[in-house]
Every structure is written in C-alpha cells, then in structure tokens.
Amino acid sequence: MVLEKGLNVKIVLLPEGEDPDSYALKVGTTAFQHYLKAQAQDFITFKATLLMQSAQEDPIRKAGAIREIVQSIAVIPDAVKRAVLTQQCSKLLGIDEAVLNAEQNKLIFQKEQEQRRRGERSLHAHTASMMLASKSEPGHKLEDSIKAYERESIRMLLSYGNAPIEDEKLLYSYLLQELEEVHFRTPEYRKIMEHFQHQLDRGNVADATYFIQHQDEAMRKTAIDLTASPYEVSDHWEEQHQIYTAKEEDDLHQTVFKNILRLKLRLIQQLIEENRAGLQNKLEPEEEDKLLQIHTALKQSETSIAHQLGIVIW
C-alpha cells in the first residue's frame, strides 16, 4: 500500500532481540544513526534478498518468490522507478530483465482491466441507460475527434501550405513529414492528402485554388467547405477600435504542431481500444504476450504525446 502511494520505502534490520529503543540506548544516538544509514536498503531489494534466501535451490519456490517481487514492483506508479528496480532485481535474481518486464506488464494490464470493470459496474449501479450510453460513446468520440483533426490538417495544408513556419521551412513540408506514417481514416481527407502528395511528386505544390477548381466534384466540395471562412475581422475595424485580434497565421508552427499531436494521440488511443478488445478473446500465451507488449508500447506513446500537450493521461 505504501509503494502504491509512490513513497520511498527503506528497511533496516536490527540485531537479534533488539528494538529501536533498546539498541539506541545500548550503542548511543550517534552510533545508532550511523547504523541506520549503513544498514538501510530499499524495500524491493530487501524483499528480493529475503525471498530468494528462503527459496534456496527450490525452483517452484523461486518462481513464486519472483512473482511476489514483480507484484511489488508493479504497484509503483513511477515508471522510471519500476524500470530501475526491475533492472536491479534482474541481476539479483539471475533472470532476464525482459521476462520480469513481461510479467510486470501483464500485472499492470490486469489492474487497468479491473479498474475499468469496477467503473463499468459503478455506472451500471447508477443507471442502466447511462451504462449503455457510456459503452457506445468512447468509440464514437474517438472517431469524431480523429475526423476533426484530420480535417484541420487538410485545412491547414490547403490554406497555408506554402507559408514559412520555422527556419524557412514551408508548412506543407513540415506537415507531410510529421504525418508520414499516419494513415488518414476519413476517405475524403485521405484522398486529398494522397492527391497532394501525387502532385508534389510531379513538382507541383497544390493549394486551395487548385482543389477548388479540380474536376473531381467530391474533392472540389471538400476544398470549398474547408477553406470557406465563416467570418473575418477587417483591418479597418482593428485600426478604428485600436484592438488587436490574434490571427492563426501569426503562429502557424504551434497551431499545426499541436493539431498533429492531437491527431496522433487520438489514433493511438483508438489502437489501444482495438488492442484491448483483442485481449478480451481467448488467446494462446504467445499471442497474449505480444498484445500485452503492444499495449505497453502504445501506452508509453500516449503518455509521451500527452506530456507534450500538457495533459494528464490515466
């Protein structure tokens, strides 16, 4: 419970038959303080040493001891601490670090699953209709978010593709580079992206006008819809009232950067949901381990992108 709260736990063993009070009286305050500093060891190392001594050469007891140690590491919320302790225990226990990580990832995933199930039970107790709504909303919300961020990416590409954003780099070059491995889910936006890339391969940088005048009716309508601004503050209004209004072209680099991050975050979250659904099936151990490894990698990517956006992911 203490480890789960993120506290640093140290263990000190006193000589046989002694308690803190009796030993401090026997050796004196200064010597007692020195003893505490010299003998203190972190809880995980202490537990690993103790259990392995009791297991000795019994392979069954050794396997059980290793699982107990991994369970203690898995509850620590700090991923860096978990990694350091896993590395230490790998050397101490004489077992491959990858094996400990795989077991640890399985425990963390099981905990997440249990928390999710508790949440679902709570929703069910609140109201059956709310439960049904909550089951259907996450997938739809993710799809809607992905579509919105894909739309914004294409709008920025058509509206400001040739605009310089940083170190004389053009926006279209930066955007395409960042989205190189991203496969657009929305057909109409994917079609424009592919056509833009096709034109670029031929040495042409297509802009909004190109797509608005395109013979393909679907692309033409999409381009018009994306680039039609509902309102615009006139320069005359700003001069008259001495009020400056920020325009999106004033900070294009940050605007496109954050939109790309949000799109990637939603795509990763959708992959997490799809991977989680796969883990609900009856799987062979090898398949389950593979999906658990994928889950861990996706969660790490999700956390990294969320950190860049300044948001917290649970």
Instruction: Assign 170 a pLDDT band (cuts: 50, 70, 90).
Output: very high
The predicted pLDDT at position 192 comes to 95
Instruction: Assign 246 a pLDDT band (cuts: 50, 70, 90).
Output: very low
The predicted pLDDT at position 134 comes to 36
Query: Which range, of 25-29, 136-140, 221-225, averages the lowest pLDDT?
Result: 136-140
Q: Which of 72, 91, 123 is the last residue of a domain?
A: 123
Q: What is the mean pLDDT of residues 135-162?
A: 84
Residue 53 lies in domain:
3-123
The predicted pLDDT at position 200 comes to 92
204-221 exposure pattern, b = at least 16 Cβ within 10 A, e = fewer: eebbbebbbebeeeebee
Instruction: Assign 126 a pLDDT band (cuts: 50, 70, 90).
Output: very low
133-159 exposure pattern, b = at least 16 Cβ within 10 A, e = fewer: eeeeeeeeebeebbbebbbbbbbbbbb
**Rounded Cα distance, 85 and 104, in Å:** 12
167 pLDDT exceeds 50?
yes
Residues 12 and 107 in one domain: yes
In a domain, 287, yes or no: yes
In a domain, 314, yes or no: no
Residues 143 and 279 in one domain: yes
In a domain, 54, yes or no: yes
Does the pTM surpass 0.75? The reply is no
Pick the more confident residue, 48 or 188: 188
The predicted pLDDT at position 70 comes to 87
Query: What mean pLDDT value characterizes the chain?
Result: 82
Pick the more confident residue, 119 or 144: 144
CB 137, CB 131: distance < 8 Å: no
244 pLDDT exceeds 50?
no
Instruction: Assign 190 a pLDDT band (cuts: 50, 70, 90).
Output: very high
113 pLDDT exceeds 70?
yes
The predicted pLDDT at position 8 comes to 82
Residues 146 and 266 in one domain: yes
The predicted pLDDT at position 117 comes to 66
In a domain, 59, yes or no: yes
Residues 137 and 180 in one domain: yes
Q: Which of 79, 97, 123 is the last residue of a domain?
A: 123
Residues 117 and 143 in one domain: no
Q: Which of 101, 123, 145 is the last residue of a domain?
A: 123
Residues 114 and 139 in one domain: no
236 pLDDT exceeds 70?
no
The predicted pLDDT at position 213 comes to 92
